[in-house]
Structure 1
């Protein structure tokens, strides 16, 4: 789920160690566009706290460029775009499904299940190699193999916004005040 194509997966293999050495984790990587004008989109977060600010994006972009430029793994011209996963982020790694348990998600499968490929419900966690999702109108928690999931994303909700605000408030409270400098 972190990459869609074979080319994406090769780039993840090349760039993961660079990101990790810099203290970041690549959440998702996509190489988009045609042969003329391509865009390499890298969503990442700090490994230590899951945050990603503008300075982090610039720093990671420089780190990745130091490897991409000499290795030249992408044919033709491209633009590197490094960003935060955002509040309504994609869920791409098993730990994401644990971290965001209790929040509403949308998933798309690579096959039909109960006559459809798209589902929306409350994430009830990770059990082995399956996620649990509580679907509206269903009594039982649906278990979906991670291998079937093509796309998973958090749904923007009041609970998710509240979680984000609490994390930002805690981070700001932990940072030293810039006004305290004598």
Structure 2
């Protein structure tokens, strides 16, 4: 996780919690003069996250961002639910989804590959064990660029 994403997460987590949601994760993309800040929010409510929830969180977070001004230049704020193909951001996410199938993209190759698709066998604060084509692959969490659940309908 980049320092900027860490700082934004620390800053915005309390604002999201004040609205009654968990900050599932955050993505920040700098694109020249215009950047994108994308927040994923989660709830334990059975009906999940709705558009009014996203609007409420967006309003709350915008206030914090206006006061603290942590992003220079223009940016777009997006707030949404993690969705069926949710990205996994924290060690607790990998632990929660043990047994599920995931797509994983690495920052550097392991065993000559940067992309893996398999089932999570185990996870802790530093490592992910992934069953890929009958082989158990150990992946350091710090080597993961992006990981998403593969929806099973």
- Runs of 4+ more than 6 Å apart: none
The equivalences for 1:1-182 within 5 A come to: 1=1, 5-46=2-43, 48-49=44-45, 51-127=48-124, 129-138=126-135, 141-158=136-153
Q: Per-residue CA shift, 1:80-101, capped at 9, x if unaligned?
A: 1101111011011122112222
Please state how far the C-alpha of 1:105 moved relative to its aligned partner.
Answer: 0.5
Larger Rg computed on CA atoms: 1
Q: Per-residue CA shift, 1:99-118, capped at 9, x if unaligned?
A: 22222101122222111121
Q: Indicate the residue corresponding to 1:170 in structure 2.
A: none
Q: TM-score, normalised by structure 2?
A: 0.86
Q: TM-score, normalised by structure 1?
A: 0.74
Aligned mates of 2:79, 2:29 — CA distance in 1: 13
Aligned mates of 1:124, 1:23 — CA distance in 2: 32
Aligned positions, number: 152
Please state how far the C-alpha of 1:146 moved relative to its aligned partner.
Answer: 1.6
| 8 Å contact from structure 2 (residues 38, 79) kept in 1 | yes
User: Which runs of 5 or more structure 1 residues have no equivalent in the other structure?
Assistant: 159-182
Give the superposed CA RMSD: 2.0
Report the structure, 1 or 2, having the larger strand content.
2
